[in-house]
């Protein structure tokens, strides 16, 4: 099987090593950007939006702006991120997830900026975060949340990047794939945990994984099920397993009516 995670991480860590920016200066710039954003109306509450979505309809949906994937190839390389974000919001999505990785997923920071400007939803920067500069970039491109993949980080990196995200007023979706990774996430204080049903080394989906792990989330931790979510039946099962939200990409991007597709998933959660 292709080792997708290893090749993607190798590319991102090489890019981080080649980045000559001073980390302290980048953090200060991100702090200044945060002050400016607060003055202009503030950041958007990612965790709060998920809670509100669950309260309103039984399940919150994080809808994804995704052009392609390493395993599936092109999904919609010509998509309009602004139009897609507007459709997702109209369909009842609580938050957005926007791929910003260019090499493997065809995304960009411009996709995130365009999507966020077109709606009122909080936005997750979906990327492979491996350094403090990645977190600073998420702040300065306008994201409201950042993804931290436990499998991609050691414990020291995970704790450092989680602390920095919080300092910069970014929610951190800490992604796990199994029980040992969940234990690591909880040990550093993660309070928003995503269970990815897709093995990032093979990109195969195990739809029993999220159901198995749903009951292992401590009180106060918001749980998000990710990947392989196809229809209303999947969402209903995950709602019953205790999840606050689902993150859905391919199913929605491939839909001919993306607004209705989001609404259909939410109907199942309710």
Catalytic residues: 64, 66, 126, 175, 196, 226-227
What would you measure as the largest C-alpha separation in the chain, in angstroms? 49
In this structure, are residues 64 and 96 in contact, taking their beta carbons and an 8 Å threshold? Answer: yes
Residue located via tokens 């039984």: 58
- Phi/psi at 192 (5° precision): -135, 105
**Terminal CA-CA length for the chain:** 38
CB atoms < 10 A from the CB of 1, how many? 8
* 18 CB-contact burial (10 Å; exposed 0-12 / middle 13-18 / buried 19+): exposed
User: Do 59 and 266 meet the contact criterion of CB atoms below 8 Å apart?
Assistant: yes
Side-chain half-sphere exposure of 128, counting CA atoms within 13 A: 22
């Amino acid at each position: 099987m292709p080792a997708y995670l290893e090749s993607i991480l190798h590319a991102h860590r090489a890019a981080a090593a080649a980045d000559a920016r001073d980390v302290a200066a980048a953090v200060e710039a991100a702090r200044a950007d945060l002050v400016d954003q607060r003055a202009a109306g503030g950041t958007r509450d990612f965790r709060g939006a998920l809670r509100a979505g669950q309260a309103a309809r039984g399940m919150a949906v994080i809808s994804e702006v995704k052009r392609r994937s390493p395993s599936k190839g092109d999904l919609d390389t010509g998509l309009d991120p602004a139009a897609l974000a507007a459709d997702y919001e109209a369909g009842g999505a609580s938050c957005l997830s926007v791929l910003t990785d260019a090499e493997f997923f065809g995304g960009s920071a411009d996709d995130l900026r365009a999507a966020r400007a077109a709606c009122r939803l909080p936005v997750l920067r979906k990327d492979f975060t491996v350094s403090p500069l990645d977190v600073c970039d998420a702040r300065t491109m306008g994201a409201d949340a950042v993804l931290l993949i436990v499998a991609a980080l050691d414990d020291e990196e995970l704790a450092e990047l989680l602390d920095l995200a919080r300092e910069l007023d970014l929610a951190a979706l800490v992604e796990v794939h199994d029980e040992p990774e969940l234990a690591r996430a909880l040990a550093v204080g993660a309070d928003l945990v995503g269970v990815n049903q897709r093995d990032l080394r093979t990109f195969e989906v195990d739809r029993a994984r999220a159901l198995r792990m749903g009951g292992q989330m401590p009180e106060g931790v918001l749980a998000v099920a990710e990947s392989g979510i196809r229809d209303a039946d999947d969402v209903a099962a995950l709602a019953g397993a205790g999840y606050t939200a689902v993150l859905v990409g391919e199913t929605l991007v491939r839909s001919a009516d993306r607004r209705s597709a989001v609404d259909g998933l939410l109907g199942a959660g309710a």
